[in-house]
Structure 1
Amino acid sequence: MDISQHIKLVEGETKALQSWATAVAESEDSYFHKAQQLVSQLGAHYREDGLTQLGFWTPELTAEVIQTEREIYLEVFTPLETIDFRAPQQTIPFRRDSIPLPQQGEFVWGVLSGLQPGTREQAGSFYWLRYYDNVQGVMHVIRDVFANSLPYGSFAPAELYDMEQLQQNRADRSYFQRTALPTALISRASLSEIVLPRVPAPVNILQIHVGTASAEGTFEGLTQIYRQISQKLANKEPLTPAQENYVGYDAIQLLPIEPTIEYRLDDGNEAHEFFAIAGDSELEPEKVSFNRPISITLRKPNTQNWGYDVPILGSTTTNPALLGSLRPDELVDFIATLHNFSQGPIQLIYDLVYGHADNQAIELINRQFFKGPNMYGQDLNHQLPIVRAILLEMQQRKLNTGADGIRIDGGQDFRFFNPLTGRIEQDDPYLLAMSDVVQEIDGYQRLLFTIFEDGRPWPEEGWEKKSTYRDLIALKPESYQWGPLIFAHNTPTLQGFWAQKWQRVCEVMFKGDRWITGCANHDTVRRGNQVALSEKIDWNLGETLPEVINNAYDNPATYLWVYGFSPGLPMDFLNALMRGSWGFFRNTDTRYGVKVVSEEAGFLDWQVTPELYEEPDAFPRLKALGFNKLEVLRQFVKALAIAIVETDYDLEKVAQICQYCLSDTPGVCEIEPLKNLNQADKPEFLALLDIPKLEAFAMAFMEDGYELCRVARYHSAIESGRSCFNLALRNYRHENPWLRENLGERDRFNSVRDEEKTIFYGMRTAPRRKPTDRDRRVVLVAHMGGKPAIAQLKDWLNLDLSQWQLAIASPDLKIDKTLENLPGMELKDGQGFLLEARRPTAK
C-alpha cells in the first residue's frame, strides 16, 4: 500500500516564527526574560487555522562542529487504523512522514500542515525530532519536553493534542470564572491596578496516591468514586464506611502524577517497550521508508511507582499508567468532578518534583538540564536561564490543566554555588517564582495556594532538630510549609514518641498556624515500616505489628488533637485512613530493584499478616516462585538486606553469598536468616540463585507489594464507628475555622508525661472578632500513648462539668451526655474527647 506524504512545512509561517524568535533574541531584555519569551512557543501547538506550530530547544545540535554532516527532520507517525487505547497490546499500521526542519541557533522551529490532532475520541499524530550524524553514523532522537500527551510513555514519540478543544469542553469552566480574573481585564489594566486573586488555603487535605486509591488505579476509577459520593450526598443517601474516608475534605493532594521512569534494558527494549516500531534500527534517513505503512506495536503502560522518580520530560502531562483511557481529558474530568462536587468545590493540589531528576532523564533530555549527580539521581540546572525558564513554563502548562494549589517537593534541594560569596546557597527566588506562576484557563487568570516541603539544613547531620521549617513562610507569609511532625522521622509506633516530641508539639501549638499538620502521609507510613523490631514498640496500640502501625497512624487521640485543638492545616493519608498497606514499590528498573526490595523488608512485618498472605489473590507472583509461607519470604528478604549492606550492593557477590549459604557446601554461613532458610523444604527457586533470579524476585516482590496497597482490598473491613468518628472530626474543623490559628493568651495547653504514659490536655477560646461575639471554648483530653490513666479534669483544668457538654469522643469511649461518668474515667492509649462550653440559656 503506497501512500503519499501528507505533512508539509508551511514556509511563510515558519519564516514568520523564525523572525519573531530572532527579534526576541536580539532584544535588550535580560537573558532570562528572553528565554521566558522563547520557551513560551516551544512544544507542539495545534492552531485554530489547522496548522501545527512546533519548537524544540536543541543545544546539542549547536555543538556540532560540522553541522552540514547531519540532517534534522521531524518524524511523524499517524495511525491508519483506530487505536484502542484500552487494549493491553495491539499492532497498528502507521503512516511515517519525514519533514526537514530548519535550525536557528539553539532552536528548531516549524509550522506544518497535515498533522492530525488528538482528542478524546481520536488519536493524534505522534512526533519527535530526529537527526542522523553522518560522521559518527548514529541516529539521534530529540523528544518534546513539553509534550501534552504521552499515551505510550516517555520513550515514545509525543502525541499532538488539541488542548484548546480540551479546555473548551471541560465541565468546570464556571468555577474558574468565579475564582479568577478575566485575562482581557488584566491586559487592559496597569500592574498597579490589578492584584491577581490567589486560591485561599483549604481547611484540610486528603493525600492520595492515584495508583492505589481505587480498584482500577486510574483517574477514571477515582472520578467514579467521587461522582457516586457526590450523587449520594445530593440525594441525602448514607455513605459506606469506605466512602466516608474520601470526604470531609475541601482539598485533595495527589502524589506526583507526572510520567515516571520506565523499565529499560541495556541490550534492547523492543520486546517490552510501549511503542515498538517493527524493524526500527539506526538507519540513515534515505534508508527509512516513508511511503508505505509501518507496523507499530502499542502496549498499554503498566509502570508502578510511588511517584517521585521523574525524568522531567513530560512533566506537562500525566503518567499514562494512571489514565485508563490514555487521554489527557481523563485528568480534567476528575478535576471538574471535584470542582462541581455537590457539597461544594474540592480543591486539587499537585505535588511538583523539580528539585531533582532520576538518572534515566539523561537518556531523554539534553545534558544542559543537569548540574551533576545527587542521592536521587541528578541535580537540575536552575541557574541556567533557559533551563530555569523551561521548568517554570512546564509548571505553568501543568497548572493549566486545572489545579488549585501546589506542593513543592524538596525545597531544600534547590541550591547552587554562589561564586560571589563562595558558599552553597538556597535558590529561594526560584521557589518563590514557582509559587507565583500564573494559571490561565479559558481566558481567566489566578495564582495558586502553595505548600513548601523544606527541611533545610537537610541533609546535614541532625537536620530534623535544627530545621525551623519556617524559612519559606518568612519569605512568603501566605504560603504553608510541612511542619516538623509530618516529616519522615515521625514514628508514633514507638513508646514515648509524643513525649519525646514535646518541644516540637509546643511549637506547633504556638506558631504552627502556617504548618501542614497531621501524622500519616506517604513518607511517615513508609518510615513506620522501617522501624526495627528491636525498638521499644508501643504494644498498647495492638497485639500484632500490623495492628500497632494501623492504630498509630489512624489514631483517634491524634485526630482529636490535630483536628479539634491544634493550629495549622491538617492533612491525612488515604491508605492510612483505610488501614491499608503502603510502601515504596516500583517495577521500573533492574539496576536498583533488589536494593529497593531490601529497604522495604519491614513491609512484610508491619503491613502483612499470615492471614492476609494466605488470601488467594495476595502475592501471586511470589507464590509462583515457591514462597508459599510468609515467614520464609520474610527470612529471605531480611537476608538480602544484610547481604546488600555487607557487599555494598554488589549483586554478583550477593548471589554468591546466597548460593553458598543455601547449598550443601560445608562451611559456616554468617548470615543467620539465610542459614535458617537452608532447609529441605526451601523454595526450589532459591537453588543456585544468580543475578537474573534476584532481579526476577525483586520484580515479583514490587508488583505484589504494589497490588496489596490498593485500598479497595480493605473497604469491607473498615469499621463504621471509626470512619464516622474521623468524618465527624473533619466536619468539626470546618465548623470551627478559628482552630487553625495559634494559641493565644487565654488558651492553655499542657501534658502529663512520664515513663508510663503521655496525655495532652488543654482549653482554647475562639478569638473575638467583634464585641458582640460570645466566648466559644473547647477542651481537649487525648491519651497519646502508654498505659491506661485516669482523666483528672478537676486537677488539670478546674472544670465545672455542669457548664460543659460533649462534642466528640473516640469511638470506644462511652461518655454520658450529662458527663456524670467523666470524673475518674480511665483512658486507654488512643482514646480521648472534646468538650464544648454550653451556650447560655436564653431568658
Structure 2
Amino acid sequence: MTTEVTLLEDATEALCEWHRDCRDRHEDDFEAAKEIVARLGAHYEDGVTEVGFWTPEIVEAGVPHEDVYLEVLTPTEDVQVFEDGVDQQRIEVRRDRLPIYREGEYHWAVVEGMTPGTREQFGSLYQLVYRQDGEWHTVQDPMAYSVPFGVFGPAELIDLDTLDAERDDREYFEQFGTDEEPIPTTEDDGLPRVDPATSMVEVHPGTATESGSLGGLARRYERIGEKLRSDEDLTAGERIHLGYDAIQLMPVEPITEHRENHDFWSVEGDRVALEGGETVEFVAEQPDLINWGYDIVIRAFSAPNPAILETGRPHELVDFIAACHNLPEPIRIVFDIALGHAEGRADELLDETFIEGPGMYGLELDYLHPVVRAIVLDLQRRKMDFGADGIRVDGAQDFKYYDPGPDELFHDDEFLAEMDEVTQEVAGTEYRPWMIYEDGRPWPRGDWELASTYRELIKQHPHSFQWSPITFAHNKPALLTFWASKWWRVFEVADFGSNWITGVANHDTLRRGTQQPLPKGWEEDPINPYLGEDGPEIIDEAYDQPSTNMLLHCLLPGVPMDFLNANAHAPWSFMRDTDDEWNVKVVAEEDNFLDWHVPAELYDDDRFFGRLKAMGVNDRDDLDQFVHVLHDVGEATDWELEDMAATIEALGSPLSGKAVTAADLERFGEAWMADVNEFANLSHWLDTLDDDRAAFMHRVRQFRQERPWLLEDIDVDGDEVFDYVHPVDGTVVYYGFRGSPDGDEQILFVGNMEGPETTVGPTALDDAIPGSGWEPALVAPGVDPDLQEVALDNGQAVVWTRQP
C-alpha cells in the first residue's frame, strides 16, 4: 500500500509567509523573482516535499483558489525502470488531489507522503489541476527535474540530495580551487571558474551509440577508461573519442512531440474510489523520439530528455558526466543551452505570460518579464547542477527585446550577463562554469557575414569564449576555394582568436555541407574534386582531412572543436520525427543527402532504409529522383501537401499504390527520418575506420593537449608567422611558425588546404623561420617530410618541431 499523501497546513502557511517576506524585502521585482523561483517545482527532504507553481493565467482568469489542486499520482506498486526491453507498461496509481495555497500569482503546498524517485524506482508524479466552467484542466511543472513519460506528461519527484550524494565524481568537484584540482580553475569573484578546455568534440547522444542513450555513452567512456588504466590497445572507434579534454553535448533537454504520433502517457480504465483517494490506470511508454535536440519547449528544461534515457532515470546524465570526469585525463562536459526560443507547441505547456509571440524558430519568450527572466535563469542553473563544467549558449544573438520608442529590436546583453553570473553547486562545491556564446550578430541582417565580429560578448566578458567565424553553419569546406576565400577569417583566428571556438566540423556545418548540390563537373559553386572520387569520400575528407585538423590542433589559437560523427566518417543530417507541420519540407531540403552519403550498395544493404523499402522505394536512384522532385514541387506549391500530392501523382511516384495523398507524403517523411536516423548511428561505422588513420588523428589531437600554450594568439606582428603561399597557382598552401612562451620549443606547419599536389620549401617561406634543427613531429600519411622540397597533395600537411 502507498503512504497516505497529506497537505501540511502549518508548513504551507510558513512557506507563503516566506514568500510575502521575500517580496517585501526586495524593491526590484526581478530580484524578488530570482529568490522566489528557486523554490518553484518540487523539492524533497526528509519525507516532506515543497511544491510551487507560478500561475498568473489561472489567477487572471478568476479561478477560485478552492478549485485549484495539487494532484499527486503515486504508483500502488513498484514501477519498472525502462530496461531489458521494457518500453511500455500499465501503471496503477493512487490519485490524491490536495488543496493548495495561493499567494499572489503563485500556488504553494508542503506535502507529506510523496515518494521520491531514485536510481532504482520511479517516484510520485505530480501536476496542478483546476476546475473551470465544469471542466478539469492540467498545468505541468515547468521546473521539473524528471519527465520520464515525455514533456507532455506529469513531472516526477526526484530525491536530488541522494542523486548528488551517490555520484561517482564527487571528489572531482570537491577539489576545485585546491592544489589537487583535476582540471584548472581561476578565481572569479571568490569562486573557482572552470578554465577553458584545450580542445573539444561535439557529440549527439541520439546517434553516438547503438542504444542512442546517455547510459550507452557512459558505458563507452567507462570502457575507454578501463582500457587506458590497464594499457590495453584501443580500437579505431575508441580513438576518435580521445585527444580532447572537453565534450560539448548537443542539447539534452526534453523536446517537443508530434501532435498525432506521440502519446507516452494516457489514462486507461475506469476510476475506482478508495479511501483517501482513487486509483487510476495509465499506459506509460518510454518516449521514442528522433531529434537533434534543439526543438525544446522550455517546460522541464531542468530535466534530461527522456528519449535519450534508456532507464527513464535522470541518473544516467550524472553517470555519463562522472564517467568522463573519472578518466585518467578528465574530460570536461559542456552543455549546449538552447533558451533563446521555444518550439511551437510550447504554448500548450507554459503559462501564456511566458510567450511574447511567434518568432523565426517557433515562439519567442518575454524575457523582459521579471518572473519569466528569473525562471529561465533558474532553469539554466538547475540543468547545469547535474554537473556540467561549461555552458554553450545557443543563438545568443536571438535574445532580443523590442523598444517601441525608437521602434527597434535590441540585443538583451544584460540578460546574457545574468546567464554568465549563474553559479553552480555540485557535491557541496560552488563554482562558475566555462562560458561560451554562439553569437553572430547582426545576423539575420543581410550583411551579417561581413559585419559580424564574433567578439561582442568577449569584449563584455573577457573570460568568455565565442564560436569563431569559421565555425558557423554557413562554412562549407567541401567547396572549391573555401580555404582561399575564407583566408581573411582564418587569419583573424590566428591574429586574435584566443577566445574563439574554432573548427569546421559540427552539427551545423556538416548538415549545410550535405545540403549543397554535388555537381558532376566544373559548375557554379564547384565541389573540391581533389577531396575524393565520390560524395562519401569528398564529404568525409572535407570535415576530417589531415591538413585541416593539423592546422586547427597544431597551429591556430583558440579551442579547436571537432564533431564525433565527422571523426567516424558517419552520415549526418537533420533528423526529427517531432514535427507535425513541416516534416515533408524538412525532408525535401535534405534532397542531396543520398548523393553525399548513400551509394547504391549501402541502400541495398538489408540493414538500412527498411521503412522506405516497405513503402515500395526499392531502388536508390528512384528515391534520389523522388526527393529532388519533392523539393521542386514543394517550392512550386508553397509546401501545400494536397497540391504537392496531386502534382507528384501526375508526375509519377515510386511510392506503393497508384494514388498519392498528403498522408502518403507525411508517411514518407516519417519513414525517411527514422531510416536516416538509424543509418547515421555510429555503431554502423566505427568498425569501418582505418586503424592507422585513426591513430594518426589521435596523435594530432594529443599534440595540442601537450601544448596548451597554443591557445594564445599568433604574434603575426612580431616574430611569428601565419600566411599562405603567393601566388596560389591552383593550390592553397597555408604555413605558420610559432614559439612557446618559455622559448624551449618552436613549431613549423605547412599544409595543402586544397588543390592538386605541389612542392614547397618550408624553411624558405619566410625569413623568420630558422633554416635548420627541425624534426618532423607529425607527418600526414604518404608524405616525405623533406625540409628542402616537400611534396603535398590535397589535405596533406607536416608539423615540425625545434628546440632553439
TM-score between the two structures when normalised by the length of structure 1: 0.90
Structure 2, unmatched stretches of 5+, are 179-186, 520-524
Decide whether the 8 Å contact of 2:81 with 2:120 is kept in 1. no
Shift of residue 494, structure 1, vs aligned partner: 1.0
Query: Which of 622, 632, 636 is 2:612 aligned to?
Result: 622
Give the AA of the match of 1:78: T
- Do structure 1's residue 409 and structure 2's residue 387 form an aligned pair? no
Query: Which of 773, 782, 785 is 1:812 aligned to?
Result: 782
2:338 alignment partner in structure 1:
353
Q: How does 1:389-538 map to 2 (within 5 A)?
A: 389-419=374-404, 421-534=406-519, 535-538=525-528
Distance across 2 between alignment mates of 1:635 and 1:89: 39
Q: Structure 1 residues 126, 280: CA separation in 2 closer, same or farther (over 3 Å shift)?
A: farther
Decide whether the 8 Å contact of 1:5 with 1:97 is kept in 2. no
- Do structure 1's residue 751 and structure 2's residue 724 form an aligned pair? yes
Shift of residue 106, structure 1, vs aligned partner: 0.5
Distance across 2 between alignment mates of 1:72 and 1:5: 23
2:797 alignment partner in structure 1:
832
Q: How does 1:544-623 map to 2 (within 5 A)?
A: 544-623=534-613
Decide whether the 8 Å contact of 2:4 with 2:276 is kept in 1. no
Decide whether the 8 Å contact of 1:498 with 1:784 is kept in 2. yes
Query: Which of 282, 288, 307 is 1:296 aligned to?
Result: 282
Distance across 1 between alignment mates of 2:700 and 2:487: 23
Q: Which moved more, 1:38-47 or 1:751-760?
A: 751-760
Q: How does 1:175-194 map to 2 (within 5 A)?
A: 175-179=172-176
Distance across 1 between alignment mates of 2:729 and 2:566: 28
- Do structure 1's residue 792 and structure 2's residue 761 form an aligned pair? yes
Shift of residue 84, structure 1, vs aligned partner: 1.9
2:323 alignment partner in structure 1:
337
Decide whether the 8 Å contact of 1:129 with 1:143 is kept in 2. yes
Distance across 1 between alignment mates of 2:116 and 2:656: 53
1:669-711 CA-to-partner distances (Å, cap 9, x unmatched) read: xxxxxxxx5xxxx4424x2111111111110000111111111
1:673 alignment partner in structure 2:
none
Q: Secondary structure at the match of 1:356?
A: coil
1:146-183 CA-to-partner distances (Å, cap 9, x unmatched) read: 111111011110011111111111111111111159xx
Shift of residue 79, structure 1, vs aligned partner: 1.2
1:24-50 CA-to-partner distances (Å, cap 9, x unmatched) read: 2233431011111110110001112x1
Distance across 2 between alignment mates of 1:82 and 1:385: 41
1:509-568 CA-to-partner distances (Å, cap 9, x unmatched) read: 101111111110000000001112343111110000111010000010001111111111
Distance across 2 between alignment mates of 1:69 and 1:740: 58
Q: Structure 1 residues 167, 180: CA separation in 2 closer, same or farther (over 3 Å shift)?
A: farther
Decide whether the 8 Å contact of 1:220 with 1:330 is kept in 2. yes
1:70-116 CA-to-partner distances (Å, cap 9, x unmatched) read: 71111121112222222111112111111121222201000011111
1:448-489 CA-to-partner distances (Å, cap 9, x unmatched) read: 101100000000102122100000000001110000001111
Decide whether the 8 Å contact of 2:65 with 2:102 is kept in 1. no
1:259 alignment partner in structure 2:
254
Shift of residue 371, structure 1, vs aligned partner: 1.3
Q: Secondary structure at the match of 2:194?
A: coil
1:759-818 CA-to-partner distances (Å, cap 9, x unmatched) read: 1012112234xxxx43x2111110000111112335423666642110101123244xxx
1:374 alignment partner in structure 2:
359
Give the AA of the match of 1:697: F
Distance across 2 between alignment mates of 1:381 and 1:800: 59
Shift of residue 273, structure 1, vs aligned partner: 1.1
Query: Which of 252, 260, 277 is 2:267 aligned to?
Result: 277
Decide whether the 8 Å contact of 2:96 with 2:278 is kept in 1. no
Give the AA of the match of 1:831: Q
Q: Structure 1 residues 648, 107: CA separation in 2 closer, same or farther (over 3 Å shift)?
A: same
Shift of residue 139, structure 1, vs aligned partner: 2.2
Decide whether the 8 Å contact of 1:54 with 1:109 is kept in 2. yes
Q: Secondary structure at the match of 1:26?
A: helix
Distance across 1 between alignment mates of 2:665 and 2:649: 11
Distance across 2 between alignment mates of 1:800 and 1:479: 36
Q: Secondary structure at the match of 2:16?
A: helix
Number of residue pairs the alignment of both structures matches: 784
Decide whether the 8 Å contact of 2:268 with 2:283 is kept in 1. yes
Q: Which moved more, 1:301-310 or 1:419-428?
A: 419-428
Give the AA of the match of 1:143: Q
Shift of residue 289, structure 1, vs aligned partner: 11
1:658 alignment partner in structure 2:
648
Query: Which of 779, 783, 788 is 2:752 aligned to?
Result: 783
Decide whether the 8 Å contact of 1:399 with 1:439 is kept in 2. yes
1:672 alignment partner in structure 2:
none
Q: Secondary structure at the match of 1:526?
A: helix
Q: Structure 1 residues 374, 789: CA separation in 2 closer, same or farther (over 3 Å shift)?
A: same
Decide whether the 8 Å contact of 2:68 with 2:131 is kept in 1. yes
Query: Which of 208, 211, 229 is 1:213 aligned to?
Result: 208
Distance across 2 between alignment mates of 1:474 and 1:159: 42
Q: How does 1:166-245 map to 2 (within 5 A)?
A: 166-179=163-176, 195-245=190-240
Decide whether the 8 Å contact of 1:4 with 1:291 is kept in 2. no
Decide whether the 8 Å contact of 2:502 with 2:558 is kept in 1. yes
Shift of residue 393, structure 1, vs aligned partner: 0.8
Distance across 1 between alignment mates of 2:193 and 2:564: 27
Distance across 1 between alignment mates of 2:405 and 2:18: 36
Give the AA of the match of 1:362: D
2:71 alignment partner in structure 1:
75
Distance across 1 between alignment mates of 2:534 and 2:599: 9
Decide whether the 8 Å contact of 2:784 with 2:790 is kept in 1. no
1:104 alignment partner in structure 2:
103
Q: Secondary structure at the match of 2:530?
A: helix
Structure 1, unmatched stretches of 5+, are 182-191, 663-676
Q: Secondary structure at the match of 1:797?
A: coil
2:138 alignment partner in structure 1:
141
Q: Which moved more, 1:24-33 or 1:223-232?
A: 24-33
Q: Secondary structure at the match of 1:684?
A: coil
Distance across 2 between alignment mates of 1:703 and 1:683: 17
Shift of residue 443, structure 1, vs aligned partner: 2.2
Give the AA of the match of 1:340: N
Decide whether the 8 Å contact of 1:180 with 1:445 is kept in 2. no
Distance across 1 between alignment mates of 2:515 and 2:370: 41
Shift of residue 218, structure 1, vs aligned partner: 0.6
